[in-house]
């Protein structure tokens, strides 16, 4: 057996023993040993994509939904560089990726040889760990090295405290394909009952005990862990829960879904400064919320990894791996005032949305309402997730996700595809037209590839709608070209190019019917950017007016 085949065979086998179930491959020549070893491995589900960027985000989506390491493989050269945005997102979001990049051997580096770039630590600090595996050689001791290396890589990617991407750079000398010889200088097999090295998980950390108080608030952002436990504890303590849609805590009687508008009303925000705020995950959708956090008496950030805690407002007073929220005695005036304001704002918001036609916030609200229990909704990172944050009513029974680690719009079609493939149930995605066009290659599926049950709902306002809500919109002359960026693309033709079923929704009442179907499909909803600005203004004004009209204690 040639060394390249031996290394690939052993590495794949050991990763499977560790628990690997999904692998995404972007084909190339130098990675042939890994590709052939994976094709012969029946214990993993192989996904092949022709575009490295789409492949990397597909792996990201699989890892996000499954919460398990996913292997990502490519050839040498610029293929490796095309993984970089997804590696950054995985690092910021704490998602377990095993990035296996094929490389030329040392004697071909720095010589101008074809498809050769410097791949050593190419992703910099975005990886949890990097290893230059070295050119495989037929000599005793290699199998122990390869298998222990695979175990270390899998464990470093999966965490448990700080999951994230791990990069193994594998230099292969030719020959790159099996030569028909199966002999090797030592046994290639691993342990019969599991991985070569068994990594033990540490016991749960000791929780920080908080003093009892009714004037507390639980804030839930992207990437939060143990959400149900903390939401239940907040409920027992009489605390309101302010959860972003992708935080997973917007359900139940204590969920305050209109917090963006409440905290944007100075009278309410000033009267509702808490004794303590406990933050899970990374909140970042609502500027009023972030401003309000800076004024909290005590701001405790819960972070499993004490080396990487989120604190965008620099208002954290304590950081803990776990927090114990005690039951507080006393009246429920605090919670009642939050719920009363939330109900008033919700009534006002829904009244505006109900007469807003096919507006973007109404689409977000109505889409969530229309989804069946057990559904997954993947959200675009720009306006769609903000529209959900500001318009979505509390509900149970669905899972919401978004790429909010680095909050880019790249790779969203492929990430949604990956999340849908890892989800046991129907999946949907809500994204803007620019995000959709940015990753239209994500629609390309080979005839033998696993196909997700995924409905992509695309909001088409012919450009970058979020900029119309930002100060850049005041610069009228250059705005449309350098910020609005109209494209004029017919999304129906984009879908047709890959044979993806397509539906155009002309009235918002047509949405439930348009969502029906199986497999990958595209639903387009056309909106107007300027009208969208006006709708958002009406929502803010209506919510603030309703809150200000409430009796003051």
Closest CA to 248 of 89, 69, 377: 377
Quick one: pLDDT at residue 194? 83
Answer whether 306's CB lies under 8 Å from 319's CB: yes
pLDDT, averaged per 10 consecutive residues of the chain (553 residues), comes to 96 96 97 96 97 97 97 96 98 97 94 90 97 95 96 94 95 93 91 82 84 94 95 96 97 97 97 96 95 93 90 94 89 93 98 96 97 97 94 97 94 98 98 96 96 97 80 79 86 97 96 97 95 95 97 74
Quick one: pLDDT at residue 83? 98
Quick one: pLDDT at residue 553? 62
The CATH 3.40.50.970 domain(s) of the chain lie at 3-171, 360-526
Strand residues in 396-494 grouped as ranges (E): 398-402, 427-432, 454-460
Closest CA to 259 of 285, 233, 234: 285
| DSSP state, residue 136 | -
Bridge partner list, 324 = 209
The CATH 3.40.50.1220 domain(s) of the chain lie at 209-340
Integer Cα distance of 389 and 260 in angstroms = 8
Look at the domain 3-171 and name its fold: Rossmann fold (3.40.50)
Q: Which residues contact 155 (CB under 8 A, 6 or more apart)?
A: 18, 197, 199
Answer whether 5's CB lies under 8 Å from 178's CB: yes
Answer whether 269's CB lies under 8 Å from 292's CB: yes
| DSSP state, residue 468 | G
Cα 523–chain centre separation: 22
Question: By 3-state DSSP, what share of the chain in percent is helix, strand and coil, each rounded to 5?
Answer: 40, 15, 45
Look at the domain 360-526 and name its fold: Rossmann fold (3.40.50)
Quick one: pLDDT at residue 79? 96
Integer Cα distance of 225 and 221 in angstroms = 10
Integer Cα distance of 404 and 223 in angstroms = 8
H or E element in which residue 217 lies: strand 216-220
pTM of the model: 0.95
Q: Which residues contact 345 (CB under 8 A, 6 or more apart)?
A: 258, 261, 262, 543, 546, 547
Q: Any idea how long the chain is?
A: 553
**Quick one: 209-340 is in which CATH superfamily?**
TPP-binding domain (3.40.50.1220)
């Amino acid at each position: 057996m040639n060394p390249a085949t031996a290394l690939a065979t052993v590495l794949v086998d050991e990763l499977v023993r560790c628990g690997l179930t999904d692998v995404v491959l972007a084909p190339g020549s130098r990675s042939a040993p890994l590709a052939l070893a994976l094709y012969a491995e029946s214990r993993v589900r192989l996904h092949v994509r022709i575009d490295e960027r789409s492949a990397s985000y597909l792996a990201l989506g699989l890892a996000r939904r499954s919460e398990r390491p996913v292997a990502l493989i490519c050839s040498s050269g610029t293929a490796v560089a095309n993984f970089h945005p997804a590696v950054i997102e995985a690092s910021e979001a704490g998602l377990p990726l095993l990035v296996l990049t094929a490389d030329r051997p040392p004697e071909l580096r720095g010589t101008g040889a074809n498809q050769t770039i410097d791949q050593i630590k190419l992703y910099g600090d975005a990886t949890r760990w990097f290893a230059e595996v070295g050119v495989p050689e037929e000599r005793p001791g290699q199998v122990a090295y390869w298998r222990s290396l695979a175990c270390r890589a899998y464990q470093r990617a999966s965490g448990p405290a700080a999951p994230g991407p791990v990069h193994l750079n594998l230099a292969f000398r030719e020959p790159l394909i099996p030569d028909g010889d199966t002999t090797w200088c030592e046994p290639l097999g691993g342990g019969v009952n599991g991985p070569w090295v068994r990594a033990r998980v540490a016991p749960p950390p000791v929780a920080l005990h908080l003093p009892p108080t009714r004037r507390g608030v639980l804030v839930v952002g992207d990437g939060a862990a143990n959400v149900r436990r903390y939401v239940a504890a907040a409920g027992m303590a009489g605390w309101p829960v302010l959860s972003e849609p992708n935080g997973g805590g917007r359900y139940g009687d204590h969920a305050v879904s209109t917090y963006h508008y409440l905290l944007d009303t100075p009278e309410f925000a000033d009267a509702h400064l808490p004794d303590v705020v406990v933050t899970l995950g990374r909140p970042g959708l609502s500027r009023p919320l972030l401003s309000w956090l800076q004024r909290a008496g005590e701001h405790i950030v819960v972070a499993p990894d004490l080396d990487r805690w989120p604190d965008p407002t620099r208002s954290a007073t304590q950081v803990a791996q776990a927090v114990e929220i005690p039951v507080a005695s006393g009246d429920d005036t605090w919670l009642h005032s939050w719920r009363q304001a939330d109900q008033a704002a919700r009534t006002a918001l829904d009244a505006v949305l109900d007469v807003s036609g096919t507006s973007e916030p109404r689409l977000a609200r109505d889409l969530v309402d229309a989804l069946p229990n057990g559904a997954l909704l993947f959200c675009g990172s720009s306006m769609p997730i903000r529209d959900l944050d500001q318009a979505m009513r509390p509900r149970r029974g669905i899972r919401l996700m978004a790429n909010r680690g680095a909050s880019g719009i790249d790779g969203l079609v492929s990430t949604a595809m990956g999340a849908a493939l890892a989800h046991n149930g129907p999946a949907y995605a809500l994204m803007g037209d620019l995000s959709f066009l940015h990753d239209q290659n994500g629609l390309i599926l080979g005839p033998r590839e696993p196909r997700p049950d995924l409905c992509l709902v695309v909001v088409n306002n012919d450009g970058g709608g979020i900029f119309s809500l930002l100060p850049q919109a005041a610069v009228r002359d250059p705005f449309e070209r350098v910020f609005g960026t109209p494209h004029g693309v017919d999304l129906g033709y984009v879908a047709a190019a890959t044979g993806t079923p397509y539906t155009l929704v002309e009235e918002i009442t047509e949405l439930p019917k348009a969502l029906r179907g199986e497999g990958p499909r595209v639903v387009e909803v056309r909106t107007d950017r300027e009208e969208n600005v006006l709708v958002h203004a009406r929502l803010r004004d209506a919510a603030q007016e309703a809150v200000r009209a409430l009796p003051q204690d």
